[in-house]
Amino acid sequence: MSEVMAKPAAPLDEVMMAMDVVDTLRHRQDLVTRELNGAAREQQLIERLRALYHQQGIEVPDHILKEGVSALAESRFAYTPPAPGLGTTMARLYVSRKAWGRPVLAGLAALMVLGVGYFGIWQPYQRGQAEQAQVALAETLPAQMDALYQTIYEETKVQQAVVQAEALRTRGKTMAAEGNRQGAEGVIARLTDLRDLLRQQYALRVVNRPDMQSGFWTFPEINTEATNYYIVVEAIDPDGDAVTLPILNEETGQTDEVQMWGLRVPETVYNAVASDKQDDGIIQGNLVGRKSEGFLEVEYLMPVSGGAVTQW
């Protein structure tokens, strides 16, 4: 067995008393500086410390006073801050985690949500939209053009409609191949209008109601020496309902959607309609023309000049 034996630990109360002695000496720094300049005067400092504690009613043994003086000299109970470094910084961050932990966790959670939303939702959505657009240009829109062309080809009774549909389909497919989706969709809209026009059926009649005029005449602005004669007409479908049609106003150059408009006719037709109405207030010959299914134009039953106005 080794003859070197560990020094027994001092009792806790003695350690605390020694710490108190050191603390007292730190608060009396003038006394410490003055008394510790020489080792020979250590006993005199102990005497003064004993007297100081005695005044406070505390009896401190000499060995504790001596231990406190030695501890002060050795900085035994002094706190020396750790040197700066990565370990020190990490330790301080860990200790202060309650102050910064929640904001940092909230920020990380927000970044995670944004990342999931962007990479997990937004980007797949954008890719899906781009793929759908490519499929539409390569397959969907051309297929719609073919279907509309085939319908027009089967339902028309005039070659003119087939020629128009063929030209539109060719132009639309070229636009789709070039990536011009807006142009291709515009062609589909025009093909749809052409199909709907072929399917229209209505009778073009002179408006024949007591409270409404059936005709009028005007002086054109470009030639005040001339007179334009108009009869007021409306399109009535097989169910007896008025049809709204796009009519080009020859005076303004604009196309308006109307149910009644003024159709320009020769003076002889205007006078015949006026005489028919003046006879008994009813126009017996009020049928101007018919638009039949499968045709593009109205088949007129009386002479017309072709122009029209939508306001008078």
Least confident of 67-81, 94-108, 199-213: 67-81
102 located within any domain: no
pLDDT tens-digit readout, 231-241? 999 999 999 99
pLDDT at 218 over 80: yes
Question: Which residue did the predictor score with more confidence, 222 or 257?
Answer: 257
Alpha-carbon gap, residue 25 to 52, rounded angstroms? 11
DSSP 165-198: HHHHHHHHHHHHHTT-HHHHHHHHHHHHHHHHHH
Mean pLDDT of 26-42: 54
Instruction: Choose one of 146, 177, 199: the last residue of a domain.
Output: 199
Considering the domain architecture, whether residues 267 and 220 belong to the same structural domain is answered as yes
pLDDT at 30 over 70: no
pLDDT at 153 over 80: yes
Determine contact, residues 232/213, Cβ cutoff 8 Å.
Answer: yes
Q: What is the pTM of this model?
A: 0.57
Specify the pLDDT at position 217.
94
Mean pLDDT of 47-75: 71
106 located within any domain: no
Considering the domain architecture, whether residues 144 and 45 belong to the same structural domain is answered as no
Considering the domain architecture, whether residues 189 and 207 belong to the same structural domain is answered as no
pLDDT at 72 over 80: no
Instruction: Choose one of 54, 74, 94: the last residue of a domain.
Output: 74
Considering the domain architecture, whether residues 235 and 158 belong to the same structural domain is answered as no
User: Which pLDDT band, with edges at 50, 70 and 90, does 9 fall under?
Assistant: very low
Considering the domain architecture, whether residues 299 and 236 belong to the same structural domain is answered as yes
> What is the number of domains present in the chain?
3
Query: The tokens 């638009």 sit on which residue?
Result: 291
Residue 170, domain extent: 129-199
- Whole-number average pLDDT of the chain: 83
pLDDT at 125 over 60: yes
pLDDT at 73 over 70: no
Question: Which residue did the predictor score with more confidence, 211 or 142?
Answer: 142
Alpha-carbon gap, residue 177 to 32, rounded angstroms? 97
Considering the domain architecture, whether residues 174 and 207 belong to the same structural domain is answered as no
Considering the domain architecture, whether residues 192 and 168 belong to the same structural domain is answered as yes
pLDDT tens-digit readout, 265-304? 999 999 999 999 888 888 998 999 999 999 999 999 999 9
Give the percent of the chain with pLDDT over 70: 80
Specify the pLDDT at position 74.
59
Mean pLDDT of 77-101: 74
64 located within any domain: yes
Considering the domain architecture, whether residues 229 and 265 belong to the same structural domain is answered as yes
Helices marked H in the chain — which ranges? 12-27, 29-35, 42-55, 62-74, 86-95, 97-115, 123-135, 141-155, 159-177, 181-199, 267-280
